[in-house]
Amino acid sequence: LFTDDGSGTIKENLVDELDYVLVPSESWDLLVQWYGTVDKNTAIPRQVVEFGFFVKQCRVEVYFLELRLCKNFNLETEILHKFSKGDTIGNIKKTMRKLYEIPDEVETRIWRCHSSTEIDELAKEESTAQDTGLYHNQLLVIETRSEDGSWVRQTKKMPGTCRTATTVSDKSSTAGPSSIMTTRFNPYGYPSESRSAPGLCGLCNLGNTCFMNSVLQCMSNCPPITKYFLNEEHFSELNEENPLGMKGEIAKAFGELIKTMWSGRHSYTMPHNFKLQVGRFAPQFSGYQQHDAQELLTFLLDGLHEDLNRIKKKPYIELQDASGRPDKDVAKEAWDNYRKRNDSVIVDFFHGLLKSTVVCPDCSKVSITFDPFCYLSLPLPTKRERALEVLLFHYEATQKPTHYTVIVPKRSLIKDLVTNVGQLSGIQPDNLIVTEVTRNHFHKFFSSNDSLEKIDDKDKIYIYEMPVQNDTHVILPVYLWESSAKIGFSREQLFGDPLLIAAPRKNCTYDVLYQLVLHKLQRNICIPDDNSSWWNTKTKNYSNGGKYYLHIIWFATLIKFPLTTSKIFIMLSMTNLTLNEDSPGDENDESCSDNGDCNGERVPRRIFSFYLVTSGADCSQDIVKIHNDGNPLSFPKHIGQSFVAAKWTREARDQFFFDKSLEDTEDDQKHCFVSTLSFVHLCRYCPTCKKHQQATKKFDLWELPRILIIHLKRFVFDRYRRDKVDRMVQYPVRGLNMSEYVINKSHPEAVYDLIGVCNHFGGLGGGHYTASCQNHNDHKWYLFDDNSVSEIKEQAVV
């Protein structure tokens, strides 16, 4: 929650109930009493503050208002300090006197700086910071009175000019204009000598207000709206008595801002007055937290419409049902009725008409209405499923591993994955074990209720078929380990795919385990040539009955190599049919050497030996060699973090092991497609059935506005989490033909050219807004990034 500088400052753009939870002080005290805290200073107290001017709303003030303070217009004394929006000007003044150690007998006054050329005095000490319209990073100056009764502002002479704002109080107006400001005293105001083309005026970020700036730039580049406000037509149409409006303040503030942006005298300006008026009538936008640009645009369009509504007294109109009448007649009636109550420049250019069709599932009654809209909010076609690449290892080692592309819901569980794999492969889902493999070992074993969100697209998911019972068999992870030096076990020495062996809990000797592992590896075994040095080993005990030779021939047929006398020796060793001694082919073995005698008798060589590796909670590993003493091996009920390492020498691996990896798999890719529904379901009262029904509702476009706003819903919310859809959307800059989507046959051709795009970069919890707009004077495209304006190519817009 805090920044890394150790100042105890809360990070920007934190989201309530996503990054933190607000609790009453009583609840906090109980939580501390029950569970304690990591640090005594972890409590973050916040107060409830009343937001808004005309519309009051109480909210917890998470972020304070940070102001820049200085004394006597000397920026070298500048201090950053945070205040509550509920703090009065008197409290701020008292704090500033304390910070600058001003004696009680010295008279002071507070000035608010709007720009290098405009300041005003904050004389009403009972007003709050919010009522006064103070904004983030604004500069306040505390001025002291000299012993001779003069103010510093009257005596201090510096290059430059500064005028007192028209809103200055009577007390300060006697001071008159003064030359106390310099270019250096201009944090972000109006650069008087920096001119730009009309409309190419940036907007300063007042503190997380990039969402507002991008919306204002898009609205500013709508030619009919800009012309309307530049010609000051809005003054004659202000409806200050509209109870649904904003007393005309939103329209006046917006018009004032448009005139400044299109005056050509400023390269950037500060929309602080507009921000103040928005916060007064829409408390959700007060303060300096990041908000959704679409929500502000909705408020702005509605506010401008009501402030400029030409209908002073709205008549009562009773809505009529369609009753089987032609759509054309019902639509005209609905639009005429709407215009009798709503008539403004916003309706003229931004409002269209939707046809809504509702069907009752029981009586099939069809209800048709026509509703106005001022923007189209389109959900992006998100992938509610994900494709998981998995590799299935069959229980029968003679079968090739099968590669599947399984389509599963994003929010599903492991049991849903195994169900799909079971359907594709014909294997019982209960017999499938899902694992994640990393660097030749098992990184994780998944349980049936684990979420698929724990699996990344880059993870290697191996699924093993194990048609055995836990009470009769134990599932042993077996890793292939190459080690030629006298060092401990290391995962860096593993090779090949890990194995899952179903070993019987009773009578599982060393030889049985060896045969099980060898059986699983048969598709990876490559028999060396006859002239290989490996075949130099001789043995006497190789003719112990025909059944052994049948077993050898069976195994040789599986791995498809010709039998020779020398190879029969190694097969006897591999199947462990004649061995009674532990004789691994490992220079580290204690019992026998590669070619030496054991009890005076030469024995065949094994290609690997076994070790039991147990991992501790502290990441330590205990390695124990498994000896072949002929006795059954004992296994714990639960293997836990233990596994069996089959240790190979470099010679054995080079001679016998062939890593087929994924090149020898069978592909069985299944793809599912989710159809897009044209209807939505809603609970609606049916007048025919006399009860609420789960009716279906369908929207169609009937009448499109002259300026069409398309909102792409990139933020999605569900019961699990909030997320942003980062899917690329292709759209034309010119010639977007919407005619094919309009069901009104008499609708004129609806072809649109793009004039503005509101861009969002980042995620749900934070990010940045910019705007790409076309200037209607030179028809060039520009990127508006707060106070920065730069020309861009048309190709960069999309």
Burial of 139 (0-12, 13-18, 19+ CB in 10 A): buried
Task: Measure Cα distances from 254 to 136, 258, 382 in Å.
Answer: 20, 6, 36
Q: Which residue is associated with the tokens 């000797």? A: 509
- Phi first, then psi: what are they for 479, rounded to 5°? -110, 145
Q: 275: helix, coil or strand?
A: helix
- What distance in Å separates the CA atoms of residue 591 and residue 22, rounded to the nearest whole number? 69
Whether residue 90 contacts residue 125, with contact meaning beta carbons closer than 8 Å, is answered with yes
Residue 760 CB contacts under 8 Å (≥ 6 apart), including other chains: 293, 714, 767, 768, 769
- What distance in Å separates the CA atoms of residue 626 and residue 793, rounded to the nearest whole number? 71
Cα 381–chain centre separation: 16
Catalytic residue among 394, 403, 551, 768: 768
Three-state secondary structure string covering 702-728: EECCCCCCEEEECEEECCCCEEECCCC
Is 551 annotated in the active site? no
Residue 537 has, within 13 A of its CA and on its CB side, a CA count of: 26
- What distance in Å separates the CA atoms of residue 11 and residue 63, rounded to the nearest whole number? 10
- DSSP bridge partners of 724: 715
- Closest of 255, 267, 272 to residue 220, by C-alpha: 255
Residue 519 has, within 13 A of its CA and on its CB side, a CA count of: 19
**Number of helices and strands in the chain (H, E):** 17, 37
Catalytic residue among 210, 222, 360, 686: 210
Q: How is residue 97 annotated by DSSP?
A: H
- Closest of 566, 575, 567 to residue 516, by C-alpha: 575
Q: Which residue is associated with the tokens 């009769």? A: 472
Whether residue 625 contacts residue 609, with contact meaning beta carbons closer than 8 Å, is answered with yes
| Alpha-helix residue ranges (DSSP H) falling in 386-527 | 414-425, 510-520
Whether residue 392 contacts residue 421, with contact meaning beta carbons closer than 8 Å, is answered with yes
- Phi first, then psi: what are they for 581, rounded to 5°? -115, 155
Is 210 annotated in the active site? yes
Q: Which two tokens stand for residue 681?
A: 């379901």
Instruction: Kindly list the catalytic residues.
Output: 210, 768
